[in-house]
Structure 1
Amino acid sequence: MSMWHICMFELRRILKIRSVVLNLFILPLLLIFILGTALSSAMGTGEENIPDVLRVGVIQPSDMSSPMGEAFKVFATTPEVSRMMKVQNMPSKDEAVNALKQGKLDFAVIMTSDMMQQWMAGKEVKLQWILGKDSTLNIVGQTLFTRFTDELNRQAAIAEVLGPEMIPAASAQTAAESEEQSSIRVSSPGHSDRSYSASQYYAAAMLAMFMLYSGMTTINSLFTERDKKTLARLQAAPVGNGVIFAGKIAGNSLLAFMQAIIIILMTHVLFGVDWGGHPGLIMLLCVLITLASMTLGIIVALVSKSAASASTIMQSIIIVMTFISGGFTPIAIDFVQRISEFTVNHWALQSFLSMMLGASVREIMHNMLMLGAVCAVLAAVAAVIYRKAGYRYE
């Protein structure tokens, strides 16, 4: 009897248990469908995250037809900027505030006569702005006009060093440079036209979580042989304890890998989940998660006194790792994010998402290497515990 005989027997035995099939194959698909459907409006496909054209109201005095007014005109007519905002001249601050309240404007900027004097004197220029109702558009407006004031202050520094007469030349140079190369870019992770949907996010998160649950089948399998006293019979056969142990781990590993393949294929066919264009890297990632699941299951099984306590510990670890890694809902707390970097789920989820977003192979491999480091630590700990505790009937 070889390790592969034990492996195939273990696999057939587990697949005959209906509860295992339900929990490992059907339940993940149901959760992905429910979470993906319920939260699709909140997460979406990424298209709704592109801001609308910013409607800006500009309040400026009548004497702004000088170099500063020309500089603003050049900035506002730059192709990249003009696609992002639409400028409307407002007669007064009160008119702009009323337009913001009525939703006719998204953002307002106030330019004063003092600004022109400060600028010509080579001093720092700061715009005054009035925020609108949409926080995202407010950020866009602040970003755009901060870029404008940065350019004005650069020209002011030129005036202070070389004299005010150099400002028109600097403005002309800036206008020429803006036609050749813009300092403003709109992009998102991976490709600029791609983002993950709620179904993709939870497909990746649930796949990582339920592959770790395969470690619980390993725990139950190891304790079943002890509790039913069949381990003593296996050890009486002409086969070493290491072969028995390796065969059972190999059977559960094949189960976890089968689970991954089925979930990936079914979510793609049923829910339209795009897993990216790196099938080889996806398979390698599933192997790493399987390794992490098996080693974690071994550690918990060998240090626990009973199957019940081992299952409770394993389940608690999986739920905590899934939660802090954002598997249930993304968490924006920096401290929690730092802790999540020590978990399997974090790097598995980031690897899957980077593939879905079409990120570079270098970025994907970085996440996978970090996951590999976590797996290596778990494997080393499992090897040390196995050498001390072993797997035998007591």
Structure 2
Amino acid sequence: MREWWIAAHYELLKYSRMRSVLIILIGLPLVLILLLGSAFDTEIKPAKVALFIADQGEMSASMDTFWNDEAISHYIKVLPANSNKEIQDWLREGIADYGVHIPAGFSERLLAGEAANWLTYSGRYEEKNIAADAVVNGYLGQLNLQLAVVETLGPDALETFKETISEAKTIVPPISTYNLGAGDNQSFGKTTSLQYYSAAYLIMFLLYGGMTAAIALLNQRENGTLQRMYAISGSFRSIVFGIIVGAVLLAALQAVIIVAFTAYVYGVDWGNHFMWITLICLLTTAAGAGLAITIASIARTVKTTQSLFGIIVFSMTFLSGGMITGIERLVGGANKFTINHWANESLRAIMSHSDTSNVWREIGVLSLIALVLTIIAVIRLPKVVKQHA
């Protein structure tokens, strides 16, 4: 017990002094998640609309209902202003994305059949202006349409128009959003782009974290350290196990930092089942370590192991859709033969709050893969730690 804990402790101490390794295993995935998650983000951010209502006529109830309706909350976030000047100040300072001033007497002019409009102010972001214009014009368009009906039918329809318009409920603007030109291959399913790439690159770099166990064993064998440890009175197996545990603890630290950073800085929703996420990360690390040790038993050198393992992990990440979304539809089911697929699917199911039975199915397959690779690694381990095995 004491031997493997001391070996694990010194492995962690060694990794803490290897800044380049820490940057690659922890810093690089955070950068990739931010870049790809932001580049492919199609989620609509509500436009902040500075609103000043000077009109207190018969239409005020209808307008209050309109601006407070949940149907437009996905596109509009209302910031109540106290004056027209305050709207313009907020737009200039970037506090608001768009401005609306409903002038006094709007209700009277509208119900009298006169032309009535709101004063609108565009902000600095075109996409925000388009969303806000669609909401405002949708509401005003419906009012002007009914006004045109009154003018066409004559004065007799005016009273009916007043009763209808004063009791009008919110008119939902017909806004639909699509990722034009991308097709189905760019769909992130029930997750956002940030969630999608957070899961993909967490798993990819946890696999690389598992590789550090095999690299540490190969380095110590080539340096003769393992041979000297074999001669001491302590348990050689415990020391080797401690070196592997040190790599697993590094991967655990890596997972904690990536999940915590993306959750609190990037705003990624990882769901509510953190024990399941912990289990998935441990299984992925075990599978990565098992695969790396198996490759190291064949390659026998650090450089060859790194090259082969890097190619395999890169290929698995690509086939599982970690680089190009939707690629799994084009590879004929080859993605299901990768570690990444089962780990990613289980994480995304947790993120999207899917049925727990689906999560356990994915975790079950991942557990089986990790178990098989671990058994193979234990059988092949002497080829890694012994000089002439």
Provide TM-score, normalisation by structure 2. 0.60
Q: CA offsets per residue over residues 310-366 of structure 1, 9 Å max, x none?
A: 100010010000000001112345462511111110001101100111001111111
1:223 alignment partner, one of 214, 218, 224: 218
Relative to structure 1, the CA distance from residue 257 to residue 331 in structure 2 (aligned partners, 3 Å threshold; closer, same or farther) is: same
CA contact (8 A) 2:299 2:305 kept: yes
In structure 2, what is the equivalent of residue 306 of structure 1?
301
In structure 2, what is the equivalent of residue 285 of structure 1?
280
Cα drift, residue 240 of structure 1: 3.0
Which segment is superposed worse, 267-276 or 325-334? 325-334
CA contact (8 A) 2:320 2:328 kept: no
Q: Which amino acid aligns with 2:247?
A: N
In structure 1, what is the equivalent of residue 203 of structure 2?
208
Say what the alpha-carbon RMSD is for the aligned residues: 2.5
In structure 2, what is the equivalent of residue 110 of structure 1?
none
1:241 alignment partner, one of 236, 251, 254: 236
Q: Which amino acid aligns with 2:282?
A: V
Relative to structure 1, the CA distance from residue 199 to residue 235 in structure 2 (aligned partners, 3 Å threshold; closer, same or farther) is: same
1:347 alignment partner, one of 338, 342, 345: 342
Q: CA offsets per residue over residues 230-269 of structure 1, 9 Å max, x none?
A: 2222112112331121111000001111111110000001
Question: How far apart, in 1, do the equivalents of 2:377 and 2:44 lie?
Answer: 41
In structure 1, what is the equivalent of residue 320 of structure 2?
325
In structure 1, what is the equivalent of residue 367 of structure 2?
372
Does residue 14 (structure 1) correspond to residue 15 (structure 2)? The answer is: yes
Q: Which amino acid aligns with 1:391?
A: V
Does residue 357 (structure 1) correspond to residue 352 (structure 2)? The answer is: yes
The answer for unaligned runs of 5 or more in structure 1 is 48-133, 137-187
Cα drift, residue 46 of structure 1: 12
In structure 2, what is the equivalent of residue 252 of structure 1?
247
In structure 2, what is the equivalent of residue 104 of structure 1?
none
Name the SS for the 1:239 alignment partner.
coil
Q: Which amino acid aligns with 2:25?
A: L
The answer for unaligned runs of 5 or more in structure 2 is 47-177, 181-186
Q: Which amino acid aligns with 1:300?
A: I
Give aligned pairs, total: 250
CA contact (8 A) 1:45 1:195 kept: no
Aligned-pair identity in percent equals 33
Provide TM-score, normalisation by structure 1. 0.60
Does residue 274 (structure 1) correspond to residue 277 (structure 2)? The answer is: no
Q: Which amino acid aligns with 1:275?
A: W
Question: How far apart, in 2, do the equivalents of 1:285 and 1:337 lie?
Answer: 25
Cα drift, residue 275 of structure 1: 0.4
Q: CA offsets per residue over residues 212-236 of structure 1, 9 Å max, x none?
A: 0113322321121122222222112
In structure 2, what is the equivalent of residue 178 of structure 1?
none
CA contact (8 A) 2:328 2:334 kept: no
CA contact (8 A) 2:36 2:197 kept: yes
Cα drift, residue 10 of structure 1: 0.8
Relative to structure 1, the CA distance from residue 210 to residue 333 in structure 2 (aligned partners, 3 Å threshold; closer, same or farther) is: closer
Question: How far apart, in 2, do the equivalents of 1:304 and 1:213 lie?
Answer: 17
1:383 alignment partner, one of 372, 375, 378: 378
Question: How far apart, in 1, do the equivalents of 2:244 and 2:270 lie?
Answer: 28
Matches for 1:1-394 after TM superposition, within 5 Å: 2-41=3-42, 44=43, 195-332=190-327, 334=329, 336=331, 338-386=333-381, 389=383, 391-394=385-388
Question: How far apart, in 1, do the equivalents of 2:353 and 2:291 lie?
Answer: 30
